[in-house]
Structure 1
C-alpha cells in the first residue's frame, strides 16, 4: 500500500459537476486505502493549514456529492505569482504539505490552477520533497488547452441552450403586442464557447438565437443594430445572445464597468446585455427584455449534461490513478476519438502544455456573417450536452443535495500570516 496523504483542492468559479470530480477522487483514493484531505476554500485553506478530513464523511455522503452543485469544500479566486515573486507562499504551502505527509496534490481548476500545480511541483523538486502534483480540469469557459472539453462546460452549455430555447418560445408568443427583442448574456471573457452553445437552441438562421455576439469578433454597433432590425422585420422578433467579453475593434470591452481588476487580473465587466438592450431600445425604438443568468449558468445541476457528469468523474478517478503512478506535473485530459458515434477517453498531458495557454474557438466554428455557429461547431458541441443526469428529488419538490460535515484536522504549524 502506498504511504502518505492526498490533498485535494478546488479553485476558481465552481461548476455544476466539480463535486462529481471530488466524489470520484475520494472514492478512488478510498478504494486504494489512501487518506484524502481537502483544503478549505482552495489554495487559501492549504496556506492557512485549514484542512478537512474527508474520512469523516460516510460513503453515502460522498456518493451524494456526485449530484450536488457548488464547491463542497469551498473554492477561492487566489492566484499565486511566480516562484520568485511569491516564494514565501510557495514555501509555506510546502511546509503544510510536509507537516501532513502529503505526497499527492490534486488541484481542481482552470488555467491558473494548472500553472500553480506546475509551480508547486517545481518547488517540491527543488527542495527534494517527494510530491506528485496533478492538475484536474474544470471550467465552464471551456478554454483549457489540450483537453477536448472541460468538465463543467457541458452542463453550462446545456443550461444555456435549454434556457434560450424556452425563452424564445416566450418571446415569440408575445411579440405581436409586447417584447420584440430579448438579449441573453452568456459567460465567456475571451472565448465564446458558451455563447456558441446557445446556437444549439435553433436549427435554422430564423430560429433563436438569430444573433450571437462572440468575443472572437469585434463588436460593430451599426452592423449589430442593422441585423436586429433585419431579423425583426423578417421573423417578427429577435433573440440575441451576447458573450460578456465582446470587445470593440480597439480592444475595449463593451461592458467595461470601469471597476478595475479582480484577483486574477481580469477587467471587471458590467453587464453587456443591459447595455445592448438600451442601445436597441434607443436606436430602434423596440421593446426589449434582457437577462443576466450569471451564476445560474454554472450552478444548474438540475439540468446537468450526462456526458459532462461522466467526464467530471472520469478525470477525478484518473487524477488519483496518475498520482499514484507518480506521473508528476500532468493533467488528465479528455480526448475525442469520434463525433459519430461520440467516443472519448482520458489521457495524461504535461501541465507545461496546459498552463498559460488559452483555447479559443476555431475560426470554422463561426458563421461567415459572424452571428451564428457552423455545422462544425454543432458537431463539436452537441455531444457535450447530451443526456440528463438528474439529481434525486425530495417530497418537497426540490433536489436532494448533501452538505458535508467538513471536519477539520488539527493544525501542526504556526498560524500563517501574509
Structure 2
C-alpha cells in the first residue's frame, strides 16, 4: 500500500506550547517515512485546507522544527473557524476531502479543543462514506483545561504557572503600598465556562492570609453582597484584597457579568470588562483605591515562563498522534493519564472522539472551597504538578529567541477556489 501524506493544523486560541505539539507531530512523522510521506500544515488552521493553502514542512530544517519546542503562538497560523454540522454545511467537509485527495493526504492531525475534536470526528466519518478514508487524529490543546477524558490539557500548565506567579508578584506589590495607596487589586483571567485558570491563581498562596483572597469561578453563581462583604472583611484583616476573576463569572441566571451583547466567530457571547466592572463595584461601595489588570493574550503567550511538564506533555501528545495513525487508529485523541499515588507520574492514553467532541469538563465542586471563593487542598494536589519545571528558551541580548519558519506553500492542484 503506497504511503500517504499528512495534514496538520492548529485551531482556536494558541498557547505557549502548541508548537511543541507541532514539533512532536512533524519530528515523529519524519521518523516514519515508510508510512508517511510529507507533512503539510494548514496556513491559518483549517482555513488553509479549505483554501488549498498548504505549507510544506519538509522545506524546514531539522533545527527549525526542533526550535518549535520553545516558540510560542501558532507557527503555521491558527483560526477561529467553526465547521458547522454536516447537515448545515456539507460542502465544507466535502471540500476538505477534495483537497486531501488532490494532495494524496491520508492522515489528518487537528490540534485544538472541543470544536476541533468534533471536526476531526466528522471528517473521519464523511471521508469513509465518500470512498476516500482519512485517519483523523485529534491532538488536544486548550488553556481552558476543559477537554474530557484527559487528566489535563496541553497549554493549561503554562498558563497556570503564569497566572500563579503573576498573582504572587502583584500581591507583593499591593501589600507594600496598601497603607497609603491601593487596597484592592483585581486580575481578570480567561475561562468562559470552566474556572481552571482562575483556580491556578490559588497556588500563589503559601500560608493563611496570602493572596489571592478571592477567586471568582464560572461554576459558582456570583452574589454581589457576599462578594463585597468578603472584600470588606479581607481589607479590614490584611490591609488589602487581591481578587482573581474568571472572565466567565456569571449570575445565578447564567448571565455573564461581563457580557457585551456581541458574538464571536464560534457564536459565543463576547466577554470583556469584568475587572473594571468589579473594581467599580468595590469603589462605589467602599471608596477603596483600586487597580485592575487583564491577563488576556499575555497569559497564553508567556513561553518565557512555561511549565516543563506542559512542554513535555504537549510534545508527547503530538508524537502519540502520529504513532496512533501509523498503528491504524482513527477518530481518537491521545490523552494524558495521571498515575495513582502521591508522586506525580503520567502516561499517554487513548480517548474516542465521539466521547470528547463538544463536552466540557468543569471544576469539580470539591476543588472549590465551601464559601466558593478559593481552592481546596484537593485542587492544589491536582494543580501543583502541572506547573512544575522551568523550560526557558534560549536568550540573546536579553531577549528570548524564537523560531520563524519559511512556511513555503505547496502549488495548488485544484482549479476550483473555495470561499471561506
Instruction: Classify the TM-score, shorter chain.
Output: over 0.9
Q: CA RMSD in A?
A: 0.9
- Any conservation in 2 of the 1:188–1:195 contact (CA below 8 Å)? yes
Q: Which residue of 1 is the match for residue 9 of structure 2? A: 9
Q: Does 1:19 align with 2:22?
A: no
Tell me, what secondary structure is at the counterpart of 2:70? Answer: coil
Aligned to 1:116: 119
Q: How many residues align structurally?
A: 416
Q: TM-score, normalised by structure 1?
A: 0.98
**What do residues 145-169 of structure 1 show as CA deviations (whole Å, max 9, x unaligned)?**
1100000000000000000000000
Deviations 1:260-305 (A, max 9, x none): 2111111001221111011111111100000001000100000000
SS in 2 for 1:372: coil
Which of 55, 65, 71 is the matching residue for 2:58?
55
Show the 5 A alignment for 1:230-269.
Answer: 230-258=233-261, 260-269=262-271
Does 2:297 match 1:302?
Answer: no
Alpha-carbon deviations, 1:239-264, whole Å to 9, x = none?
A: 00000000011111000112x21111
1:338 corresponding residue in structure 2: 340
Question: Is structure 2 residue 417 aligned with structure 1 residue 412?
Answer: no
Distance 1:186 1:276 in 2: 13
8 A contact 2:215–2:374 mirrored in 1: yes
Assess if the C-alpha contact under 8 Å between 1:25 and 1:316 holds in 2. Answer: yes
> Alpha-carbon deviations, 1:99-118, whole Å to 9, x = none?
00100000000000000000
Q: Show the counterpart of 1:89.
A: 92
- Contact (CA 8 Å) 1:339, 1:380: kept in 2 or not? no
Q: CA deviation at 1:2?
A: 6.1
- Cα distance change on mapping 1:87 and 1:293 into 2, 3 Å: same
> CA 1:341 to 1:95, structure 2 compared with 1: closer, same or farther past 3 Å?
same
Pick closer, same or farther for the CA change 1:70–1:341 going to 2, 3 Å. Answer: same
Partner residue of 2:404? 403
- Give the CA deviation at 1:206: 1.2
Structure 2 partner of 1:369: 371
Secondary structure of 2:250's match?
coil
CA deviation after TM superposition for structure 1 residue 131, in Å: 1.3
| Superposition deviation, residue 205 in structure 1 | 4.2
Output the TM-score relative to the length of structure 2.
0.98
Note if contact 2:43-2:77 (Cα within 8 Å) is conserved in structure 1: yes
| CA displacement at 1:238 relative to structure 2 | 0.6
SS class of match (1:247): coil
Please, which of 384, 388, 396 is the counterpart of residue 386 of structure 2?
Answer: 384
